[in-house]
Amino acid sequence: MRLQIGILLTALAACATSGQPRGELELFKMEDPAMGTLFRASFYAADAEEAASAWGAAIARVREIERAASDWDSESELRLLSARSVGEWSQLSDDLAVLLTRAQELHEMTSGAFDVTVGPYVRLWRRAHRLSELPDPERLSEASRAVGMQRLELLEDRARLLAEGMRLDLGAIAKGYALDEALKVFKERGIERALFDGGGDLLAGGPPPGLSGWVIAVRPLGGEGRGWPLELAHRAIATSGDANQFALIEGQRYSHIVDPRSGWALKGSQASAVTALDCATADALASALCVMGEDGVALLELLPEIEACYWGDGIGEYGTCATGGLRWMMAAPPEHGVTSPRLR
């Protein structure tokens, strides 16, 4: 699965729990490794027993999805599907069926910028980053014959691959889906006020008591770079970019993000943040926006309940471009270092 990348989102302290009267909700913070990153949650529960039980069930659900959707685990359901003979139907678990169906919808929504069949290209570029040399053009051409959503056929809860050498990669959607499912587990247990963080992708349920949302800081340059604050409640925000994952090859900066339409890794520096009602959608669209660039912001502007920001080389004075609806999500600025995105 995809490791933590690009923009870092840091949840700011919502409120303190000291001095709370007995019987009121307490703030708990828990974390566990899963899906190649660290899953964290800040949430309000009645007591430590309720908190531990809910977190245990939520992280178990995340790991269940990981077993279905991992690109790294050779025994995952996804990898076993990729290993099936060309044209052979596979019965899908509910999770994998949902993920692949949603992936098809998002592929159409982004005109091919999001494509889970990109695996053959990704393998070549992982090698290129390791060796600091460009992929062989012939191998890229060969890989192109195993890439394309038209080569993945879905029929309700069954799937088959229609080309030799295909390898599916759900790294840009599975983590967001896992966060969605983790929050569902909390809600089923009556825990509504929660903020989940999965390697930089955030999903908020209800806000902390007495507040209208969880305040987060979006840092497009990663680390201690300048940021701008957002307030999040009942929404997700996902990030993508190459602040921490890129390679310099023959004097050119190449991202770990691959354009599935061309087979080439993105050049230069770019990053994105997308907010949506669910994290699977935000996760996928954040990756697609890096591929689409500034034109992608115009596309996402047309979609309901979607707001986005793109950072890239050569975009205006600040190198940012955002949908107009981001303005209503802006929180009170921190004491220093705020750079608001340029709105379209």
CB-count exposure of residue 289 (10 Å: 0-12, 13-18, 19+) = buried
- For residues 113 and 250, the answer to whether their CB atoms sit within 8 Å is no
pLDDT at 213: 94
Does any domain span residue 334? Answer: yes
CATH code of 104's domain: 3.10.520.10
Buried/exposed code over 136-148 (b: 16+ C-beta within 10 A; e: otherwise): eeeebeebeebbb
CA gap 106, 139 in Å, rounded: 27
Does any domain span residue 20? Answer: no
Does any domain span residue 114? Answer: yes
The answer, yes or no, to whether residue 282 has pLDDT greater than 60, is yes
Does any domain span residue 260? Answer: yes
pLDDT (tens digit, 9 = 90+) per residue, 193-240? 999 999 889 999 999 999 999 988 887 656 555 567 888 999 999 988
Does any domain span residue 29? Answer: yes
Q: DSSP per residue over 201-227, as a string?
A: EEEE-BPPTTSSSEEEEEETT-TT--B
> What integer best gives the mean pLDDT of the chain?
86
pLDDT (tens digit, 9 = 90+) per residue, 250-276? 989 999 999 999 999 999 888 899 999
Does any domain span residue 33? Answer: yes
List all residues 6 or more positions away from 189 whose beta carbon is below 8 Å from its beta carbon.
Answer: 50, 53, 54, 57
Neighbours of 154 (CB within 10 A): 15
Backbone angles phi, psi at 221, to 5 degrees: -95, 0
> Which of 55-59, 144-148, 307-311, 332-336 bottoms out in mean pLDDT, i.e. has the lowest?
332-336
Does any domain span residue 56? Answer: yes
What is the domain extent for residue 142?
A: 1-13+25-344
Return the H-helix or E-strand segment holding 321: strand 320-322
pLDDT (tens digit, 9 = 90+) per residue, 160-205? 999 999 999 999 999 999 999 999 999 999 999 999 999 889 999 9
Predicted TM-score (pTM) of this structure: 0.88
CA gap 153, 145 in Å, rounded: 16
The answer, yes or no, to whether residue 343 has pLDDT greater than 50, is no
Angle, nearest 10°, between helix axes 174-188 and 279-292? Answer: 160
The answer, yes or no, to whether residue 34 has pLDDT greater than 80, is yes
Does any domain span residue 160? Answer: yes
Q: How many structural domains compose the chain?
A: 1
